[in-house]
A = this chain, B = another copy of it.
Amino acid sequence: MTPEELASLLTKVKSSDCSIEDAVQQLANQHAETITDACIDHQRLQRTGIPEVIYGASKTAEQIILIAKTMLRQKGPVLATRVSSAKAAVVLEALPELEYRPDCQVISGSPLALSPEKYRGKTLIVSAGTSDIPVAEEARLTLKTLGHPVEKLYDVGVAGLHRLLQHRNRLLEASTIIVVAGMEGALPSVIAGLITSPVIAVPTSIGYGASFGGIAALLGMLNSCAPGVAVVNIDNGFGAACMAEAINRL
């Protein structure tokens, strides 16, 4: 309940347009309403910022269709991550206006218009190897769906440093850099040592043996000797994109 609404209610009480009992009732509920308001505010912010996103791994195709339909009705962007090909086929049959990227298992649709004016720069997504690209693309699709300017620079891992150094200008131009790497996860440290923008490091589960499904890369990134690096969960391209969006939003 806004101050204006409060004043209006109290005016009605004073003028007896509202009984004291009714006012007590309304005000007693105010706590819940305040929370509900916050909720609605929050959702509104989300609609203009980060929309509700469907975590597809543990939902049925039917559940995904239901949520996506609501989102489409609200003219909002649709984003569903970790959707298997089988589920995606069912979803797209019901909602053919959506798109599915099998490599990064993302369903998207009805994206927000590209809005450079809403952000203080662009995000550059860097991947160490070609195997890390699906996670990088999950991040890129998320940012694109949100209307956030985004570029990519893939396959520039530390074992061939010249590949990275050739693109130093692109690194310097980005306002935020998402670095996606598996195996030893060393790329974020190297990049953070070359620039002053914040680096969001995404470990991937690429590797075998002692990579332990991404633990090696995760630990490497958490122990980065370069300042200005923070880390998200293994394979969490979506989370890195949300962090980048939050950093750049004006």
Contacts and interface: CB of A to CB of B under 8 A. Distances in A.
A138 to B, nearest CB: 12
Contacts of A218: 209-210, 222
Contacts of A229: 232, 239, 243
Interface stretch (A84-92, A110-118, A184-192): A184-192
B158 A206 contact: no
Interface stretch (A69-77, A93-101, A127-135): A127-135
Contacts of A13: 10, 13-14
A159 B189 contact: yes
Nearest to A249: B196
A154 B217 CA distance: 25
A162 B247 CA distance: 24
Interface residues of A, number: 102
B193 A160 contact: yes
Contact of A210 (B3, B131, B158, B233): B233
Contacts of A6: 23-24, 27-28
Interface in A48-83: 49-50, 53, 55, 57-59, 63, 82
A219 B210 contact: yes
Interface in A132-180: 157-163, 165-166
A225 B160 CA distance: 10
Given A7-B24, A10-B10, 10 more contacts: A32-B166, A39-B163, A50-B228, A57-B131, A159-B224, A184-B224, A198-B246, A208-B236, A216-B220, A216-B223
Q: Which 10 A-B pairs have the closest CB atoms?
A: A209-B234, A186-B186, A227-B242, A230-B230, A58-B131, A216-B219, A159-B226, A159-B193, A184-B220, A198-B246
Interface of A: 3, 6-7, 10-11, 13-14, 16, 20, 23-24, 27-28, 30-32, 34-36, 38-39, 42, 45, 49-50, 53, 55, 57-59, 63, 82, 120, 128-131, 157-163, 165-166, 183-186, 189-190, 192-194, 196-200, 203, 205-236, 238-240, 242-243, 245-247, 249
